[in-house]
Structure 1
Amino acid sequence: MIEALWLSTAVIFVAELGDKSQLMAMTFATRFRARDVLLGITAATAIVHLASVAIGYWIGRGFADYQGPIAIAAGIAFLGFAAWTLRGDELTEDEAEKAKKASGSALLAVGVAFFLAELGDKTMLATITLATQHQWFGTWVGSTIGMVAADALAIVVGIALGKHLPEKVIKYGAAAAFAVFGLLLIAEGAGWLG
């Protein structure tokens, strides 16, 4: 469980850097208290990642005899996440305006926005991928911690500096990390087949 927790924390933290939801966190932090934004992010992330882990666990256990091909498919997915990260993910002006104008409870506004933003996002897909290979509870807790930590970093930096993290450094670093994880998974899968 500890290995799954640490691995998923690291992978999801890196995946979240420069992601649209991290930009949403900065935007929400300009309107609501940072504590409320973090609580909303945590609740939404825990729910989405629990569903992601359930899907990944089902795939990993249902196809236990095919661990080699699953590892290769997971590695290819991580290479895809690397390309997705290089392509970038931006918050549109319309999305930023909606985040600023959110009404009602801060927790509800942030929680619903993050829940919807994370459905089908690369961090959700990365969590599914991790859960096919690793223990589900550690993956769930780790992926939630990684995402909340990355978004907390965005909030702190956004408040302190009033601008975004160095985008190119984050983009290339995250893409490189995904590529390394992808190549390692492909090598592991090839070992199962050999």
Structure 2
Amino acid sequence: MDAFLSSTLAVAIAEIGDKTQLLTLFLVARFSRHRFAIIMGILLATLVNHGLSGWLGAWLVEWVPQHWVPLILGFSFIAIGLWVLIPDKDDEHEEQSLRYGPFIATCVLFFLAEIGDKTQVATVILAARFDDALIWVIAGTTLGMLLANVPVAYFGAWLMQKVSLTWVRRGACALFIALGILSLLNGQF
């Protein structure tokens, strides 16, 4: 259960103010009557992207010397924590994907937006940390993505006016740094 809860919380917090929330706002503005298709696109794109990322994390742990794993995980979590403080830049993939409808556009755009994103990297790291609970990590990171983006699909414009992104980023930074420190301490160097 630790893998599921840690993954859900880490991604849900890290996603607040992320480019995928802006992408959700954009898609809802473009396809306002198709919120369910947008949400299903987010779900599918996240499952595929985070599934591949989780598999990569679990595979890496098999090949990295065991005594290096806590050190790599600890510093990786801390690096993601600091990365969260940097606002995302908008990507330019939108226009060509919009002609395929809300579900396909969302699948393609979310999958592309997550490549190399902090939550994809976090999924790799979480899967390495909880290598015996890969399915729970993927389920948790996917739920975290949905928890951050589904409200935006329904209440996005109002919600973005009420939430201080600076404080959310700081909270996400603190969470990832705490996970990094815990990983380093559990390594018992």
Report matched runs for 1:1-194 at 5 Å. 2-32=1-31, 33-63=34-64, 66=66, 68-91=67-90, 94=92, 98=94, 102-134=98-130, 135-161=133-159, 163=161, 165-189=163-187, 191=188, 193=189
Distance 1:57 1:145, change over 3 A: same
Matched-pair contact (CA < 8 Å) for 1:28–1:99? no
* Structure 1: segments with no counterpart, 5+ residues: none
Matched-pair contact (CA < 8 Å) for 2:97–2:109? no
RMSD: 2.1
Distance 1:100 1:30, change over 3 A: farther
How many residue pairs are counted as aligned between the two chains?
Answer: 185
Structure 1, residues 33-65: CA drift from partner, whole Å, max 9, x if none? 2211111111000000110111011112334x5
Distance 1:42 1:21, change over 3 A: same
- Could you tell me how far apart the structure 2 residues matched to 1:38 and 1:166 are? 24
Distance 1:162 1:129, change over 3 A: closer
The structural deviation recorded for 1:69 is 1.9
Distance 1:18 1:137, change over 3 A: same
- Could you tell me how far apart the structure 1 residues matched to 2:55 and 2:159 are? 38
- Could you tell me how far apart the structure 1 residues matched to 2:159 and 2:136 are? 34
- Give the 4+ runs in structure 1 shifted more than 4 A: 161-164
Structure 1, residues 76-109: CA drift from partner, whole Å, max 9, x if none? 11111111111221326x56xx369822221000
Letter in 1 for 2:109: A
Matched-pair contact (CA < 8 Å) for 1:27–1:99? no
The structural deviation recorded for 1:21 is 1.2
TM-score of the aligned structures, taking structure 1 as reference length: 0.86
Letter in 1 for 2:12: F
Structure 1, residues 115-160: CA drift from partner, whole Å, max 9, x if none? 1111111111100001112111111111111111111133233144
The structural deviation recorded for 1:3 is 2.1
The structural deviation recorded for 1:161 is 4.8
Letter in 2 for 1:146: G
* Structure 2: segments with no counterpart, 5+ residues: none
Distance 1:4 1:162, change over 3 A: closer
Letter in 2 for 1:178: F
The structural deviation recorded for 1:162 is 6.7
- Could you tell me how far apart the structure 2 residues matched to 1:164 and 1:101 are? 30
TM-score of the aligned structures, taking structure 2 as reference length: 0.88
